[in-house]
Amino acid sequence: MNPREHERVAVNVSTVTIVINVALSLFKFAAGILARSGAMVSDAVHSASDVLATLIVILGVKLAGRAADADHPYGHERLECVAALVLGIILGATGVGIGWSGVQKILGGEELASPGALALAAAVVSIVVKEAMFWYTRAAARRIDSSALMAEAWHHRSDALSSVGSFAGILGARLGWPVLDPIASVVICLFILKAAWDILSDALERMTDHACAPELAEEMTTSVLSQPGVLGVDTLNTRLFGDRIYVDVEIRADGELTLNETHATAQAVHDALEAGFPQIKHCMVHVNPARVEG
């Protein structure tokens, strides 16, 4: 997928996300206040953080889509990973804040009010909406292979899980255990922190020249060996560059062939890899001579 199409899909999905999150946050916040539910107010704050996260995703995708220039001859793809890192940090900070608020209420000793039925209904609405947004955003992220958009999808999933915690806490509080409402906030915090860790670890891998999955490297090796003139693969190294992949491969070819012939073999390997694996940004092929008995 070309950078323009990549950006268009990401921005369209993110725009839908912003509209839904703003409406959902306002609804959950109002329901939390009116129904006296700290868990639902915490859930609303989590949804509100999604709006800022989505704006970061849009900025990261737009910056990553810029063409290579004199100062950045290898392109700007890693800026999308930077966006994912910022998103993960914001998500983690949000989780810590929600958890601390819940702990304070549990240890505070004040009388806890039983939340109203509106908070319970808001939790159900949030679970359905956020789970739907997770599947919608994840499908788009996979289609364009975007780490920032995938991070946003998991942000939606963490919000849906936090709403499940809200529902359980609110229901328990309404059944006579009001302390379950702030306990739900602490549970929500744990779900959010897990999602933040997953986002941060994935972004860091993509920024530190981590190799691609072994299965993908094996598929590349098979493709190389299928090209005419290739007698073997000595090495095949990969490294992630944002959402793209750099490949360095050393092949063996008949050492008695002319330079033009071995160059044609190397070019065939290069073209086959870049055509068969669209996520490859650049492929370098080195040819080692191999004497063929005969």
- Per the prediction, the chain carries an average pLDDT of 82
Q: Are 211 and 217 in contact (CB under 8 A)?
A: yes
Portion of the chain with pLDDT greater than 70, in percent = 90
Range 3-207 classified under CATH 1.20.1510.10: yes
**Residue 293 amino acid letter:** E
Cα distance between residue 3 and residue 61, in whole Å:
9
Q: What tokens does 124 get?
A: 């159900």
| Sign of the C-alpha dihedral computed for residues 283, 208, 221 and 255 taken in this order | positive
Is a pLDDT exceeding 60 seen at residue 111? no
**Locus of tokens 């953080």:** 49
* Residue spans in the chain of domains classed CATH 1.20.1510.10: 3-207
Express each pLDDT in 91-102 by its tens digit: 788 788 878 877
CA 172 to chain centre: 33
pTM: 0.58
* Residue spans in the chain of domains classed CATH 3.30.70.1350: 214-290
Range 214-290 classified under CATH 3.40.50.10260: no
